[in-house]
């Protein structure tokens, strides 16, 4: 997935404003719920074939970067 391509979008007209994988109607929250429940990424991808592995991994990387960017370094 190109670095300049939007990974996620939000629109009131799509899934009531949920953050979705760009180009799909699949909420990012669904991926997080799968992982939180202990399911594998492959399980999610099998159930939501409109999301590519590359796209899912890029969104997870974005989430990881956000966590690190907001970490308190005061120790």
Q: Walk along the chain (75 residues) and give the pLDDT tens digit of each residue.
A: 544 479 999 999 999 999 999 999 999 999 999 999 999 999 999 999 999 999 999 999 999 999 999 988 776
Q: How many domains does the chain have?
A: 1
Residue 52 maps to a domain: yes
Ranges assigned E (strand) in the chain: 8-11, 14-21
Residue 44 maps to a domain: yes
CATH of the domain at 47: 1.10.10.10
pTM as predicted: 0.85
Residue 11 maps to a domain: no
Domain that holds residue 33: 18-66
Alpha carbon distance 38, 66 (integer Å): 22
28 touches 20 (CB < 8 A): yes
Phi then psi dihedrals of residue 73, to 5 deg: -95, 10
């Amino acid at each position: 997935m190109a670095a300049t391509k939007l990974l996620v979008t939000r629109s009131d007209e799509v899934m009531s404003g949920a953050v979705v994988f760009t180009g799909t109607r699949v909420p990012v929250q669904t991926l997080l719920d799968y992982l939180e429940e202990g399911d594998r990424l492959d399980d999610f991808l099998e159930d939501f074939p409109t999301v590519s592995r590359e796209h899912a991994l890029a969104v997870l990387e974005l989430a990881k970067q956000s966590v690190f960017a907001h970490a308190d370094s005061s120790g």
